[in-house]
A and B are shown apart, each in its own frame.
Chain A
Amino acid sequence: MRVFLSTHFQSYSGGKGAVEGRGATVADVLADLERQFPGLRFRAIDEQDHVRRHVKLYVNLTSIEDLATPVGPSDELHLLGALSGG
């Protein structure tokens, strides 16, 4: 599936704003991204497996918090820096 990364994460993805990730759930895709781009997952997901306070995940246009959310090859995952300021 296509994964879009906001600028916050691109120091981990070699400057890429869109990458490919594989998996049947958001958790699987994040694990695949971690294999490709070490350190990326912990920037979005904390040690209790929760989405960080100032990060938002979307599957297509839906904001999600549950990493068990199923995804398919035609879905899009967005990792975005949240609107956390003025």
Chain B
Amino acid sequence: MAKTRVRAGPKATKTPGGPVTVFVGTRKGLWCLTSDKARRTWRLSGPTMLGCVVHHVRLDPRDKKTVLMASRTGHLGPTIFRSADKGRTWKEATKPPAFAKVPEGQTGWVVDHTFWLTPGHASEPGAWWAGTSPQGLFRSADGGVTWEGVPGFNENPMREKWFGGLKDQTPDGGKMHSILIDPRDKRHMYIGMSGGGVFESVDQGATWKPLNKGCLALFQPDPDPEYGHDPHDVKLHPLQPDRLYQQNHCGIYKMDRPTARWERIGTTMPKQVGDIGFPIVLHPRDPDTLWVVPMDGQAVWPRTSPQGKPAVFMSRNAGKSWKRQDAGLPKSQAWWTVKRQAFAGDSRDPVGLYFGTTSGEIWASRDEGTRWTPIARHLPHVYSITVAEY
């Protein structure tokens, strides 16, 4: 695979540009924050689907109108809602992701919730990918109205070996996430599984190979297993698609393909903070700039802000060094966590950053993390933050 950059990428818009929309998926429904052109003031609207868990919301970057929402109500199970008007009105998918029915007498898989949504390659309008809990991969060819399982993953005889047993999963079930499409080649994809690890396909999901070497899995006796890892969030840089980053259960990592070994870049984080966390956000125009939100992963894994002092950490040199960015954030006694889909950036210059907390706060920075301001409070537990720019 040649190491190349992609020419077309997110267009930088010098502030002031257009308004920014932030979709806030929570444990109790969807809210929406819309800014003014300067991103100084924000208007909160919602809820939509009150009472439903909203795991992920994504705008289709190809038509800039279609929005999909992965939703689950406590009683009624998982589904996907689709908006054709930027989130104003919603209609349920007629055939949501569901595993194949097995013959009578056998135990089949049941989708508990759709956890992740990824718009398909730019050359395939209407194509979408979805990752579920338990780990399953689904594809829609009609803009999210109907979904089919991807046999190369869902029926792969290695699938259950890859993600292990009940004790190898996240507390509310294993997750398929971080479905990444190479902008140069629609057949080239990556996925992340918690648990399971990172996997790569070069034939649009027909076959998969693990891509975890070099990455710790401290919950296994094998020091360098082939699979079974816990990548919390994997990102591919849109302008340099051979550059991958991941925030893993066991550190922060980088990989430059065609290398197939992860390099831990989180050891340069302050020791009292560590390099455990959930989300990772990349600068849309600089492959060496990234942000993470560390959490306490020491001893018994409290999964809170380290010492109750939340901070974002930014690297401008692909992890060689990190800068703490906590101006405006609480200085003590703030014990929230930021989940893997709950941190995102816009495409403006300077980049705007947005994260949501397990305590229902939304924080924003319009200067690449230099200063943080709360733009919403008292919302339910935040599961996802996604940015839409029309």
Contacts and interface: CB of A to CB of B under 8 A. Distances in A.
Interface in A26-44: 38-39, 42-44
A84 B74 contact: yes
B89 to A, nearest CB: 14
A53 to B, nearest CB: 8
A8 B75 CA distance: 8
**Closest 7 interchain pairs by CB?**
A47-B98, A81-B75, A43-B76, A48-B108, A54-B75, A46-B110, A8-B75
A66 to B, nearest CB: 12
A52 interface: yes
Contact of B75 (A38, A49, A52): A52
Interface in B93-122: 94, 96, 98-102, 107-111
Interface in A1-47: 8-9, 38-39, 42-44, 46-47
B96 A42 contact: yes
Interface residues of A, number: 19
Interface of A: 8-9, 38-39, 42-44, 46-50, 52, 54-55, 81-82, 84-85
- DSSP majority for the B interface? loop
B68 to A, nearest CB: 16
B148 interface: no
Contact of B77 (A46, A84, A85): A46
A75 B328 CA distance: 63
B92 interface: yes
Given A38-B94, A39-B92, A42-B96, A48 B101 contact: yes
B99 A47 contact: yes
Interface of B: 73-77, 79, 92, 94, 96, 98-102, 107-111
A43 to B, nearest CB: 4
A53 B289 CA distance: 44
A42 B96 CA distance: 9
A77 B100 CA distance: 27
A48 B110 contact: yes
A34 to B, nearest CB: 11
A50 B108 CA distance: 10
Nearest to B73: A8
Contacts of B94: 38-39
Contacts of A84: 74-75
Contact of A47 (B74, B75, B79, B111): B111
26 contacts: A8-B73, A8-B75, A8-B76, A9-B76, A38-B94, A39-B92, A42-B79, A42-B98, A43-B76, A43-B77, A46-B110, A46-B111, A47-B98, A47-B99, A47-B111, A48-B99, A48-B102, A48-B107, A50-B110, A52-B76, A54-B74, A81-B74, A81-B75, A81-B76, A84-B74, A85-B74
B74 A55 contact: no
A27 to B, nearest CB: 13
Contacts of A81: 74-76
